[in-house]
């Protein structure tokens, strides 16, 4: 396995490290990290055994793949030495809203640049990541990128023009699911359940329904119809959702997130 260097050691970097080690794709000796002023890098190193470095030259010496896992707003003030220190290396970014053009200004001599849009379920290996590259990847680099993204869950290669839509659907999507779950919980309380029971029922319903869709491969509309009896309880609830244009609200939600992602990309 080529040496992988992580600039940043937060939740997503930690998730990738966990996946690489748990899947035996890499050993701790293959991985190194550098964090900010907080303790994340030291804690990640203590928990996993990967090397923690004191500075960029030590981190990048001998590394073949560099993973950008710091806060997106810090790209503009990135250490100018990175241009030379990453020469000939593959650079993979998980920075939201930072297009390949912005990455190319900071890493002009990288052998290739990969932009990804992971989501938070990647922290437990259940995510999905959209990704694209500046130039076509070599077979070896394709395998390297896929091995790394497998650590987070599923992945799909797309054109960069689709990344903003992916950001709005799967990047921001977990927040919509969390919000729906919370709304279902609160509705359960309003219907007479205790907060504890409402929470357990809402959570299990969302998880079970998602697993049913995944394991059966059945269209969500078909499953919806299977649980809906004519003029029954589910029908009554769905009628209220339709009257409030539930699908329209979700569509507006996704389009608003996409528009904001486009704005952030233009500001880069």
Q: What is the CATH number of the domain that holds 75?
A: 3.40.50.720
Residue 34 has a pLDDT of 96
Q: And the tokens for 151?
A: 């650590």
Residue 44 has pLDDT above 80, yes or no: yes
pLDDT in tens, 176-230: 999 999 999 999 999 999 999 999 999 999 999 999 999 999 999 999 999 999 9
Q: Which of 6, 2, 12, 52 is nearest to 174 (CA)?
A: 12
Based on the fold, state whether residues 148 and 83 are members of the same structural domain: yes
Orientation angle between helical segments 173-190 and 195-216, nearest 10 degrees: 130
Convert the pLDDT of each residue in 70-108 to its tens digit.
999 999 999 999 999 999 999 999 999 999 999 999 999
Q: What is the pLDDT of residue 53?
A: 96
Residue 165 falls within a domain, yes or no?
A: no
**193, 147: one domain:** no
Instruction: Considering only residues 266 and 189, tell me which one the structure prediction assigns the higher pLDDT.
Output: 189
Burial class from Cβ neighbours inside 10 Å (0-12, 13-18, 19+) for residue 47 reads exposed
Q: What CA–CA distance (Å, rounded) separates 110 from 137?
A: 12
pLDDT at 109: 98
pLDDT in the model for residue 152: 93
Both 68 and 125 in one domain: the answer is: yes
| Claim to verify: residue 200 and residue 245 sit in the same structural domain | yes
Range(s) of the domain holding residue 207: 171-267
Average of per-residue pLDDT across 239-245: 98
Task: Quote the strand ranges of the chain, DSSP E.
Answer: 4-7, 31-34, 51-52, 65-68, 90-93, 112-117, 127-133, 153-157
The confidence band for 32, taking pLDDT boundaries of 50, 70 and 90, is very high
Are 243 and 182 in the same domain? yes
Domain count, the chain: 2
pLDDT the model gives residue 176: 98
- Tens of pLDDT, residues 4-13: 999 999 999 9
Q: Are residues 151 and 177 both part of a single domain?
A: no
Q: Which of 106, 126, 159 represents a domain boundary (last residue)?
A: 159
Residue 166 lies in a domain: no
Residue 110 shares a structural domain with residue 66: yes
* pLDDT, tens digit (0-9, with 9 covering 90-100), for 45-55: 999 999 999 99
Q: Tell me how far apart the alpha carbons of residues 159 and 115 are, in angstroms, rounded to a whole number.
A: 10
Does 222 fall in a domain? yes
pLDDT at 36: 82
Angle at the Cα of 175 from the Cα atoms of 94 and 42, rounded to 5 degrees: 45
pLDDT one-digit tens code per residue, 128-186: 999 999 999 999 999 999 999 999 999 999 999 999 999 999 999 999 999 999 999 99
pLDDT band at 67 (very low <50, low <70, confident <90, very high): very high
Which element (helix H / strand E) includes 177? helix 173-190
Last residue of one domain, picked from the residues 111, 132, 159 = 159
pLDDT of 233 reads 97
Distances (CA, A) of 18 to 2, 48, 144, 149: 17, 8, 16, 12
Q: Which of 131, 159, 187 finishes a domain?
A: 159
E strand map for 41-101: 51-52, 65-68, 90-93
Task: Quote the pTM value.
Answer: 0.91
Between CA 129 and CA 111 the distance in angstroms is 22
Residues 175 and 132 in one domain: no
Cα-only R_g, the chain: 21
């Amino acid at each position: 396995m080529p040496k992988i260097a992580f600039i940043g050691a937060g939740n997503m970097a930690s998730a990738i490290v966990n996946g690489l080690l748990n899947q035996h794709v890499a050993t701790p000796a293959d991985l190194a990290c550098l964090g900010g002023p907080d303790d994340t890098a030291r804690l990640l190193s203590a928990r996993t055994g990967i090397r923690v470095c004191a500075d960029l030259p030590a981190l990048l010496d001998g590394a073949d793949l560099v993973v950008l896992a710091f806060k997106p707003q810090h790209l503009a003030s990135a250490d100018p030495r990175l241009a030379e220190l990453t020469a000939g290396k593959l650079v993979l970014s998980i920075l939201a809203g930072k297009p390949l053009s912005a990455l190319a200004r900071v890493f002009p001599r990288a052998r290739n640049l990969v932009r990804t849009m992971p989501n938070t379920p990647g922290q437990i290996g259940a995510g999905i990541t959209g990704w694209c590259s500046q130039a076509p990847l070599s077979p070896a680099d394709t395998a390297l990128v896929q091995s790394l993204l497998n650590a987070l869950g599923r992945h799909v290669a797309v054109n960069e023009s689709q990344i903003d839509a992916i950001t709005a659907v799967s990047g921001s999507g977990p927040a919509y699911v969390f919000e729906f779950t919370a709304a279902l919980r609160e509705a359960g309380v309003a219907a007479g359940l205790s907060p504890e029971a409402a929470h357990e029922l809402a959570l299990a319903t969302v998880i079970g329904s998602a697993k049913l869709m995944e394991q059966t491969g059945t269209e969500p509309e078909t499953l919806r119809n299977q649980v809906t009896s004519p003029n029954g309880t589910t029908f009554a609830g769905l009628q209220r959702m339709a009257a409030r244009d539930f699908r329209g609200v979700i569509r507006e939600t996704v389009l608003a997130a996409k528009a904001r992602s486009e704005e952030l990309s233009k500001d880069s």
